Structure 1
Amino acid sequence: MPPATESAYSLTRDRVETYFDRTATQTWERLTSHEKVSRIRETVRKGRDRMRALMLSRLPQDLRGARVLDAGCGTGAMATELAQRGARVTAVDISPQLIDIARRRLHPALHDQVDFQTGDMSDPALGRFDFALAMDSLIYYRDADIGRVIGNLSDRTAQSIVFTVAPRTPLLMAMWHAGKLFPRSDRSPTMIPHDAARLARHCPGQLTRIGRITSGFYISEALEHRP
């Protein structure tokens, strides 16, 4: 990755880490729990549950013997479901706070199947996988940066990568231009809408649209990449 591009990617990554570690940890912990939340956040919770189910539907029900990367694992819901299917899961997130929550929530019977790590999802040191999933963890990056991350993962993923982006809809584009997709500050990340066809030009291999989930304020599109 060229120095200027690496600098832009790193800056966004650092903003995401700061946001989830210092600003939104408690909000995110509650949103991903079973605690009562506001109506708006309940729609987001339901949307995320539906998206996770959609992404998991692209993988075999029986994952015994498979290595799966949960890239941007957050509080660990995806990692738990993968482990329940028998997968050996590497669950990585740039936020140490979210990793701590995920470790606490994982059922003791699944501890041997999930390796939680703090760091960059594209780090080659994480190893090789059969599948990789990245749910809502690439939504803050430009298309070129997403293409490089997918290309990096593709070199180490045997079968498929399933990930999500914010779709380039008129509503999201209007909100994006108005600066309202995320709280604005020097350290807050901004979600970037993407067009799947344009994004495909930055991703080596075959990129397929899987489906879009809309639930109140939650709008996300799942894509599948194969070599």
Structure 2
Amino acid sequence: MTYEATRARVETYFDRTATRTWERLTSDAPVSRIRETVRRGRDEMRARILSRLPQDLRGARVLDAGCGAGQMTAALAARGADVAAVDISPALIGIARRRLPEDHRARVQFVAGDMLDPDLGSFDHVVAMDSLIYYDATDIGAALTGLTKRARGKIVFTVAPRTPVLMAMWYAGKLFPRSDRSPVMVPHAPERLAEQLAGIGRLRDLGRTHVGFYISQALEMSG
């Protein structure tokens, strides 16, 4: 499946099928025990990614690629970054914009569209939390090739790791109810992915977050 076709499937899911699910998941509203583990896992992964960036981001321009409901965007803006918050889903962009604290709004540019669009310009850092998990190694390689040309600093992103536990949950369809199940994730072994992307740069394994039904692997690309 091409990058464009996968992107279209992801847009349909987040913008039409599961907007309310993700709005609730990324809030403080009560959720099921399964979704509570996903919420806590995402919080832990966000902290892991943010730990790779300077605490003081004043003067830095950061791309939040696949910003979703805006939790990462708000954290980056709180550190003083000028953030390009991009997501394929206009509905999620609307949620992120409404939730952003007033005192951060001057530092954030929200864009509904392709997170890889070169017209977004250049950046000091790029973060892509759980927004490349639906793509194969070829598409991830193409994404990183473009981003490395436009990023002066770190590119920190996540993939779905190839683990027996994740694959069992995935095939069993337990992550979400059938009515709003996520698009199919493409699992990757970090070592194998590093080999496949060696021509782009050095891939550093930042560790795995596994909290209940949330499993994700953090990676960092450097030239």
Shared fold by TM > 0.5?
A: yes
Tell me, yes or no, if structure 1 residue 129 matches structure 2 residue 123.
Answer: yes
What is aligned with 1:3?
Answer: none
Tell me, yes or no, if structure 1 residue 214 matches structure 2 residue 210.
Answer: yes
Give the aligned residue type for 1:222: A
Residue from 182, 201, 208 that aligns with 2:195: 201
Deviation for aligned residue 1:211 = 1.1
Tell me, yes or no, if structure 1 residue 171 matches structure 2 residue 148.
Answer: no
What is aligned with 1:149?
Answer: 143
The Cα offsets for residues 162-182 of structure 1, whole Å up to 9 and x where unpaired, read as 000011112223455x37367
What is the RMSD of the two structures over their aligned residues, measured on CA atoms?
1.7
What is aligned with 1:31?
Answer: 25
User: Structure 1 CA distance, aligned partners of 2:161 and 2:209?
Assistant: 10
Q: Please, what TM-score do these two structures have when normalized by structure 2?
A: 0.93
The count of corresponding residues between Structure 1 and Structure 2 is 219
The Cα offsets for residues 52-97 of structure 1, whole Å up to 9 and x where unpaired, read as 0000000000001100000000000001000000000000000000
SS at match of 2:46: helix
Conserved 8 A contact 1:65-1:86: yes
Conserved 8 A contact 1:55-1:222: yes
User: Structure 1 CA distance, aligned partners of 2:57 and 2:129?
Assistant: 19
Give the aligned residue type for 1:92: V
SS at match of 1:171: helix
Tell me, yes or no, if structure 1 residue 72 matches structure 2 residue 92.
Answer: no
Residue from 91, 110, 114 that aligns with 1:116: 110
Deviation for aligned residue 1:48 = 0.3
SS at match of 1:157: coil
User: Structure 2 CA distance, aligned partners of 1:13 and 1:210?
Assistant: 26
User: Structure 2 CA distance, aligned partners of 1:115 and 1:199?
Assistant: 32
What is aligned with 2:34?
Answer: 40
The Cα offsets for residues 97-125 of structure 1, whole Å up to 9 and x where unpaired, read as 00000000001111100000011111100
Please list every run of 5 or more consecutive structure 2 residues that lacks an aligned counterpart in the other structure.
none
Residue from 145, 150, 153 that aligns with 1:159: 153
